[in-house]
């Protein structure tokens, strides 16, 4: 049996090797390393896949979130509501820009931001909401957009884990996650559902003015070379990464299907285990399973991880410490903040290997050894 990894990028590469090698060789041959033609082509192809008017590639997912917030023209001290149960990047950029992160609770089923907690946290300083489509499942965007409209707030979707997911809007239409709020942000980190061979990211929006601002900010605040209108940054997707992403975008739906197949097999095998909660599947969205994450009740997670590790099966905890308990945010008003669901999840979740190249033998092996812990 092939060794089991959380993500098997090597086996995935082998299947598309000729196309990838040729695409990379072509970039090197033309030496158009920065802003070569593949960058624009990829942006167009991603826009059409997502149904987004504008896609602006950038250097990584964290930059995408930062640039999105910069494009909204917020003032220091303005509040941005975000879940505490997320990857640190979501919340870090808020503080980096001198804005105030307001951490709220998640929904007990989807583990995504809870709209009623958002509503309770809205103040006169609130300017934006950053929902995270955690593990590949969409946050409740219908409720979030309704709140945003009612209170005149911006919505930036952290779509780093859910690219390709479909969301059913209450008006009956179906849209890709990341295209529902004012700006969507994606990471192309290698292990993401659409990953490149280094760092990469993108922003998307349906709004032409925002698109123009985002483009400027990502390019030193300039529209015309050497004319700088706003303070920006230097955040580019390099041409080699764009060339890789053009090829992998064509596979994205197949990759999602492969992940969902693994998730279904896990679900069927684990559904009846006492004290093990399989991932909830919301009816308003398509789970794209960036992670397959179980919730344990009354079991020793460390012992389970050790049991799996002994059998050569890796597992991960996403995330062990909630954002509001991180030292980097200690200077905000977080000391008395109680987010019991979030704190409990940090102690109860465990993510199993899930990727596009899992074979039957590996899958059965993981299932068998996972179940044996509970016997």
Ligand X SMILES: *Cc1c(COP(=O)(O)O)cnc(C)c1O
Q: List contacts with ligand X (CB under 6 A).
A: 60-62, 86-87, 89-90, 132, 158, 160-161, 187, 189, 199, 201
Whether residue 109 contacts residue 138, with contact meaning beta carbons closer than 8 Å, is answered with: no
CB distance 296 to 308 below 8 Å: no
Beta bridge partners of 219: 234
Q: Measured between alpha carbons, how far is 118 from 125 in angstroms, rounded to an integer? A: 13
Query: Residue 65 class from Cβ within 10 Å (0-12 exposed, 13-18 middle, 19+ buried)?
Result: buried
Structure tokens at 157: 């979707």
Give the whole-angstrom CA distance, residue 216 versus residue 233.
Answer: 9
Please identify, using beta-carbon distances, which residue of 315 and 362 lies nearer to ligand X. Answer: 315
Nearer to ligand X, 161 or 362 (CB): 161
- What residue is closest to ligand X based on CB? 61
Tokens at residue 242, please? 């764009």
Quote the CA–CA distance of 332 and 352 in Å, as a whole number.
34
Question: For the packed helices 252-270 and 360-372, what is the interaxial angle rounded to 10 degrees?
Answer: 30
Query: Which of 155, 160 has the CB closer to ligand X?
Result: 160
Q: How far is the CB of 155 from ligand X (least distance, A)?
A: 15
Return the number of the residue (199 or 284) whose C-beta is nearest ligand X: 199
Query: Is the CB of 100 or the CB of 235 nearer to ligand X?
Result: 235
Integer Cα distance of 239 and 26 in angstroms: 10
The dihedrals phi and psi of 250, each to the nearest 5 degrees, come to: -65, -20
Nearest Cα neighbor of 276 from 291, 296, 302, 298 is 296
Comparing CB distances to ligand X, the nearer of 65 and 304 is: 65
135 class by beta-carbon count within 10 Å (0-12 exposed, 13-18 middle, 19+ buried): buried
Q: Smallest gap, in angstroms, from Cβ of residue 89 to ligand X?
A: 4
Which C-beta is closer to ligand X: that of 12 or that of 90? 90
Q: Which is nearer to ligand X, 276 or 341 (CB)?
A: 341
Cite the beta strand spans of the chain per DSSP E. Answer: 54-58, 79-83, 100-104, 126-129, 154-158, 166-168, 174-176, 183-187, 201-205, 222-224, 227-228, 276-277, 292-296, 349-352
Smallest separation, CB 15 to ligand X (Å): 24
Nearer to ligand X, 60 or 219 (CB): 60
How many CB atoms are located within 10 Å of the residue 254 CB?
Answer: 11
């Amino acid at each position: 049996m092939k060794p089991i990894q959380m993500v098997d990028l090597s086996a995935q590469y082998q299947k598309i090797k000729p196309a990838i090698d040729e695409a990379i060789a072509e970039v090197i041959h033309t030496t158009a390393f920065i802003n070569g033609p593949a960058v624009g082509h990829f942006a167009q192809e991603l826009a059409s896949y997502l149904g987004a008017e504008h896609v602006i590639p950038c250097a990584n997912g964290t930059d995408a979130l930062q640039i999105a917030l910069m494009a909204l023209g917020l003032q220091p001290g303005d509040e941005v509501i975000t879940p505490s149960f997320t990857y640190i990047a979501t919340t870090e950029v808020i503080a980096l820009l001198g804005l105030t992160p307001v951490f709220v609770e998640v929904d007990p089923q989807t583990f995504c931001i809870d709209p009623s907690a958002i509503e309770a946290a809205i103040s006169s300083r609130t300017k934006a909401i950053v929902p995270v489509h955690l593990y590949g499942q969409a946050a409740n965007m219908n409720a979030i957009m309704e709140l945003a409209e009612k209170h005149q707030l911006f919505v930036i979707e952290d779509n780093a884990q859910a690219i390709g997911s479909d969301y059913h809007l209450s008006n009956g239409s179906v849209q890709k996650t990341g295209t529902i709020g004012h700006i969507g942000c994606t990471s192309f980190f290698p292990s993401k559902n659409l990953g490149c061979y280094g760092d990469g990211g993108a922003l998307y929006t349906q709004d032409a003015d925002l698109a123009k601002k985002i483009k400027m900010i990502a390019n030193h605040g300039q529209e015309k070379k050497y004319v700088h209108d706003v303070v920006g940054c230097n955040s580019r997707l390099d041409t080699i990464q764009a060339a890789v992403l053009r090829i992998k975008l064509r596979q994205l739906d197949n990759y999602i299907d492969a992940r969902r197949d693994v998730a279904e097999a896990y679900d069927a095998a684990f559904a009846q285990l006492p004290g093990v909660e399989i991932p909830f599947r919301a009816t308003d969205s398509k789970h794209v399973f960036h992670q397959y994450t179980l919730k344990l009740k009354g079991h020793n997670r460390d012992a389970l991880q050790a049991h799996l590790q002994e059998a050569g099966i890796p597992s991960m905890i996403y995330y062990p410490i909630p954002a509001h308990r991180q030292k980097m945010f200690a200077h905000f008003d977080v000391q008395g903040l109680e987010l019991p669901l979030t704190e409990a999840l940090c102690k109860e979740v465990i993510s199993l290997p899930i990727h596009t190249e899992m074979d039957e033998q590996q899958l059965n092996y993981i299932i068998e050894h996972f179940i044996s812990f509970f016997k």
